[in-house]
Amino acid sequence: MTDKRIDEATGVETVGHEWDGIEELNNPLPRWWVLTFYVCIFWALVYSVAYPAWPMISSATQGMLGWTSRGQLAAEMEAQEKERAASVAALANMPIEQLPGNPELMRAAVAGGRAAFKVNCVQCHGSGAAGGKGYPNLNDDDWLWGGDLKAIETTLIHGIRQPGDDQTRFSQMPSFGRDGILTGGQISAVASHVLALSGKGKDSAAGAQLFQENCAVCHGPDGKGMREFGAPNLTDAIWLYGGARKDVIASVTNAHAGVMPAWGTRLDPVTIKMLAAYVHSLGGGEDFTEQAAAPAAPATPAEQTNEQP
Amino acid sequence: MNNPDRITVPGSHVPGPEKLYEKRKAVYPQKIDGPFRRFKWFVMFVTLTIYYGTPWLRWDRGPYAPDQAVLVDLAHRRFYMFGIEIWPHEFYFVAGLLIMAGIGLFLVTSAVGRAWCGYSCPQTVWTDVFQHVDRFIDGDRNAQARLAKAPWGPAKIFKRTLKYSIYLAISFWTGGAWIMYFADAPTLTHDFWTGQAAPIAYATVAVLTATTFLLGGFAREQVCIYMCPWPRIQTAMLDEKSLIVTYKDWRGEKRGSLKKAEKNPGEFGDCIDCNQCVAVCPTGYDIRNGPDIACITCGLCIDACDRVMREVGRPRGLIDYATLEDNTREAAGETPRPVWKTILHLRTLIYLGVWGMLGLGLLFALGTRNHTDITIAQDRNPPFMLMSDGSVRNAYTLKLRNMESRPRKMEVAIEGLPGAVMWSEDMPREAAARKIVREVPADEIDTMRAYVVMPDGARSQKFTFTLRSLDEAGESDSGVTNFEAPGAEE
């Protein structure tokens, strides 16, 4: 193996290795290349001492600098929070009614709300907030309990029909069919009237009569609904549980009562304000109106504890 | 193992420590003068002037845009080049220029060989600069070699310190000039020296200073021979029709000194083996060994050889720019063809055609481009929204670009879509209309949410958003998009 010689074709010395007649010429690397290689080795040594590198049985070596990816993330998050601290503090101290007067803060709130929505709300309302059957579409202009910033915030804090929250918004439509209040024929007549209210199909005189007796107390004599009880407007084009005849019959027969969790116990007030601002910004949010004092609550079939003092 | 078919040269095994690396053979190119050297001076002057000077040219663009003639404004995503302003969505201009530069290199290579390598490659230019520093401090070729071998003493230490300081100064100046392309040069210079520039500016200068110092000061021809991919690519583009530096071996061989040749007339060729061509070569290559990637075709060996031929009274051009084809032709006794004929061969003409068409296309696009631009992104989630009164709403994000250096009033209008009106999030819904006028700031993109509402009974259909500037130019741009409606389900 040490039989070095000059290769006759190239005039270069061989290294003395031979495999099946193939020999290796001794063409050394350029010096700068070798130096670069040594520098890389040195760099690797320094790096593996300074940073976590060597896998051990249950963890890896810590590294002299004490750097961790989790630590880096924590530092970045902290820096982010610091950056946002000012607008978060301003939001915390500001009643939500004043938010529209502060466009910059509004933008920050909408951006924050968009992120919070993706985490907390998309499971029911969908990533585009378009909702689904039984889950309200938040982009449109139909609000069961009110669509201004304050009303949205209240809904978020206390939820809808959230058990254990004494300020939650509550209403319950009677199950007219299941509880035997109306017969099948009567329900069918009521459904005809309800559909006729929004311009679908022929009206039914009997249905109209039954509607005034049983439904008008919450939905209003003209079927336009009442926000105080979250009673839907039956004359518009938007149906939470479907606007086909069978859907309406199902609603009257069994009654629906969707539950939205009260987020006031899970999210901080600032996040809730941000969420309210985001939902309001989706295109259907309502402006504040001179909120007429709630009309003397008529006796309702459902116990009703409406918001705020 | 011993191979019986191979001859082992006795004594060929050199005992002693193994060499792990090949030491760089130092190159001390000798000073030379001649037409090609003077051309090299000229190119060096022009390229360095362009490189160092360009950022300092001013160009008045009014109060809303920077007044630096050539500026790559990464922070604001604008690229200014004299009267031309490139926006990110027009990046195809830059891409087109880069493609032209690439094809330009092919063109130059097929026409005049490795002229890029020999004259205008930054590595060549800065190596040349540093070699002149060497000559200025250490003296010419022989003095440099002597000094390199000399033991370290006060004189050598002084000379080396001085030389490396000049290297560093040039490198620093080079690195410093680069960052000037990315910010207002006078402001950046001030900020740089008062410690207020961005950290990235200092880092860039440091890196470019270090690389210039290393690559120009020390690596030099090693870059061309070992690191640069371009010579290797070029070998695929050169053929026997390409103009390269050629040693006319049919005329030069057999080599012999002037004395030997005088003693034996007829036996020796024109090459008197004076080695001047190797001495002046910036990469230390011996062109008489034939074409090689080490030859950057700078032509300094031609200058050297021509001078020697003149001195010994022989015709010039023993080493010359010539195609291999012509070399063979000349060897056979034919007259050489004029250079323009060798340059204008088919391959060159094809490259020139492609290059020229690209250039014309870019110029045309530049001349007809619009300073008003609208892009439309339709909300897809949800695609449409049924409102309580039965109307249907779609939402769009419109980007209104005002690519002029002045604020402009612009009008966004719906075309088609009968009965539809729109409003934007920052205006009262009651003001919904077919047209909205907005003030778009100078040189900016105005992002606008547009809610388009169609009355009850809407159907899905296409329509157009039109953006029109309400100034004397009246530029406009439009885009077709969709209006989605639940139509099909009912």
DSSP A49-81: HHSS--B-SSSB---TT---HHHHHHHHHHHHH
The pLDDT of residue A193? 94
Are the C-beta atoms of B372 and B407 separated by less than 8 Å? no
Model confidence pLDDT, tens digit, residues B346-398: 888 999 999 999 999 999 998 888 889 999 999 988 889 989 888 999 999 99
Whole-angstrom distance, CA of residue A48 vs CA of residue A34: 21
Q: pLDDT tens digits for A164-176?
A: 988 999 999 999 9
Residue pair A148/A285 in contact by the 8 Å Cβ criterion: yes
The CA dihedral of A281, A285, A291, A292, to the nearest 10 degrees, is: 180
Closest residue by Cα to residue B331 from B242, B238, B246:
B246
Q: Nearest C-alpha of chain A: how many angstroms from B286?
A: 18
Nearest CA in chain A to B396: A283
pLDDT in tens, A238-274: 999 988 999 999 999 999 989 999 999 999 999 999 9
Residue of B nearest to A34 (CA): B21
**Closest to B22 (Cβ–Cβ): which among A21, A30, A141?**
A30
Query: Which tokens is B292 given?
Result: 């090689």
Which residue of A2, A29, A139 is in closest CB contact with B382?
A139
Amino acid in the structure at residue A270? V
CA-based nearest residue to A149, from A264, A288, A271, A265:
A288
In angstroms, how far is CA B463 from the centroid of its own chain?
44
- Token pair for residue A300? 């309702």
In this structure, what is the dihedral angle of CA atoms B45, B51, B52, B55, given to the nearest 10 degrees?
140
Q: Which residues contact A163 (CB under 8 A, 6 or more apart)?
A: none
The residue assigned the tokens 């311009």 is A199
Give the position of tokens 């090949």. Answer: B22
Question: If you average pLDDT over every residue of chain A, what do you get?
Answer: 88
Cβ–Cβ < 8 Å for A200, A188: no
Establish how many alpha carbons lie within 13 A of residue B63's alpha carbon, considering only the half-sphere containing its beta carbon. Answer: 3
Question: Which tokens hold the place of B101?
Answer: 């530069």
**Between B3, B219, B386, which is nearest A21 by CB?**
B3
A162 half-sphere exposure, CB direction, 13 A CA radius? 21
Detail the DSSP E strand segments found in chain A: 14-19, 22-25, 29-30
Count of other CB atoms within 10 angstroms of residue B301: 29
Q: Which two tokens stand for residue B199?
A: 């950290």
Q: Share the mean pLDDT of chain B.
A: 89
Q: Which of B7, B22, B222, B226 to probe by mutation at the A interface, max A CB count within 10 Å? A: B22
DSSP strand pairing (B385-386 vs B408-415):
unpaired
For the segment B241-253, what is each residue's pLDDT rounded down to a tens digit?
Answer: 888 899 999 988 8
Q: First CA to last CA across chain A, in angstroms?
A: 99
Token pair 């103009």 is found at: B243
Per-residue model confidence as pLDDT tens digits over A27-72: 888 888 899 999 999 999 999 999 999 999 998 888 899 899 999 9
Q: Radius of gyration over alpha carbons of chain A, in Å?
A: 35
C-beta neighbour count of B342 within 10 angstroms: 20
Q: State residue B437's pLDDT score.
A: 94
Size of interface A-B (CB pairs under 8 A): 96
pLDDT, tens digit (0-9, with 9 covering 90-100), for B213-222:
999 999 999 8
- CB nearest to B21's CB, from A4, A30, A127: A30
pTM of the model: 0.69
> What are the angstrom distances between the C-alpha of A4 and each of A10, B1, B9, B431?
14, 10, 9, 94
Q: Dihedrals φ, ψ of B332, to 5°?
A: -80, 5
CA-based nearest residue in chain A for residue B25: A30
Q: Which two tokens stand for residue A255?
A: 């009654």
- What confidence tens digit (pLDDT) does each residue in B438-475 have? 999 988 899 999 999 999 888 899 999 999 999 888 88
Mutation target to probe the B interface, by most B beta carbons within 10 A, among A195, A238, A281, A288 is A238
Q: For residue range B264-307, what is the model confidence (pLDDT) as tens digits?
A: 888 888 999 999 999 999 999 999 998 888 999 999 999 999 99
Amino acid at B33: D
Joined tokens for residue A48: 């593996």
Contacts of B164 (CB under 8 A, 6+ apart): B217
CB contact (8 A) between residue B12 and residue A6: yes
To the nearest 10 degrees (0 to 180), the angle between helices B185-193 and B154-179 is: 130
Chain B nearest-CA residue for A2? B1
Helix, coil or strand: residue A82 = helix
According to DSSP, the β-strands at A29-30 and B21-22 are parallel
Confidence (pLDDT) at B157: 95
Please state, in angstroms and rounded to a whole number, the distance separating the CA atoms of residues B148 and B154: 14
| Parallel, antiparallel or unpaired: strands B70-73 and B408-415 | unpaired
Chain A hits for B14, CB-CB cut-off 8 Å, are 4, 13
- Most A CBs within 10 Å: which of B386, B391, B422, as the mutation test of the A interface? B386
Give the pLDDT of residue B7.
46
Taking CA atoms, B83 is separated from A172, B65, B405, B418, in Å, by 70, 12, 12, 42
Q: Which pLDDT score, from 0 to 100, does residue B1 have?
A: 43
Nearest to B347 by CA among B111, B116, B103, B102: B111
pLDDT at A162: 92
Dist. CA B14–CA A4, nearest whole Å: 8
Q: Count H helices, E strands: chain A?
A: 10, 3
B235 is written with which tokens? 């070998």
Decide if pLDDT at B431 tops 80.
yes
Number of H helices, E strands in chain B: 17, 15
DSSP per position, B198-242: -HHHHHHHHHHHHHIIIIIIIITHHIIIII-SHHHHHHHH--TTS
What is the distance between the alpha carbons of residues A80 and A115, in angstroms, rounded to a whole number?
14
- Identify the pLDDT of residue B18: 56
